[in-house]
Amino acid sequence: MPLDISKDPIMQKIAAGRTFDEQVQYIRKYASHAAPGGLRERLLDTVGIRKPQEKAENVLIFGCYVPFRIPSELKDSLDLLSQLGIEYTFLDDEYCCALPLIETTKGKERQQAEEAAEEFLGLNISQARERGAKRVVYCCVWCAYLAKRFYGNCDLEQIYYYDLIAESLEKATLRLNPTVVGYYEGCHRRNRAWAPGISLDWPRYRKILGRIQGLEIVDLPHRTCCVFNSQRIIKEAEQHKVGAIVCSCVACHTRIRAASKGKISVKYLPEVLLGALQTR
* CATH number of the domain that residue 71 is part of: 1.20.1050
Q: What is the pLDDT of residues 209-268, one digit of tens each?
A: 999 999 999 999 878 888 888 999 999 999 999 999 999 999 999 999 999 999 999 999
Residue 86's pLDDT band (cuts 50, 70, 90) = very high
pLDDT class for 19, splitting at 50, 70, 90?
A: confident
Domain assignment of residue 3, yes or no: no
Q: What is the pLDDT of residue 2?
A: 53
Could you tell me the CATH number of the domain that includes residue 181?
3.40.50
- Examine the domain organization and report whether 13 and 144 are in the same domain: yes
Instruction: Pick the range with the lowest mean pLDDT from 70-79, 136-145, 190-199.
Output: 190-199
Domain region containing 157: 9-165
Paired with 59 in beta bridges are 89, 136
Q: Which of 12-21, 57-66, 189-198 has the lowest mean pLDDT?
A: 12-21
- For residues 88 and 101, membership in a common domain is answered with yes
d(CA 83, CA 274): 8
Query: Is 104 inside a domain boundary?
Result: yes
Task: Tell me, yes or no, whether 27 and 138 share the same domain.
Answer: yes
Domain tally for the chain?
2
Q: Please give the share of the chain, as a percent, with pLDDT higher than 70.
A: 93
Q: For residue 188, tell me if it sits in a domain.
A: yes
Q: Do both 110 and 210 map to the same domain?
A: no
As a dihedral over the C-alpha atoms of residue 107, residue 113, residue 119, residue 122, rounded to 10 degrees, the angle is -110
Contacts for 236 with CB less than 8 Å, ≥ 6 apart? 182, 220, 221
Q: State yes or no: pLDDT of 6 exceeds 70.
A: no
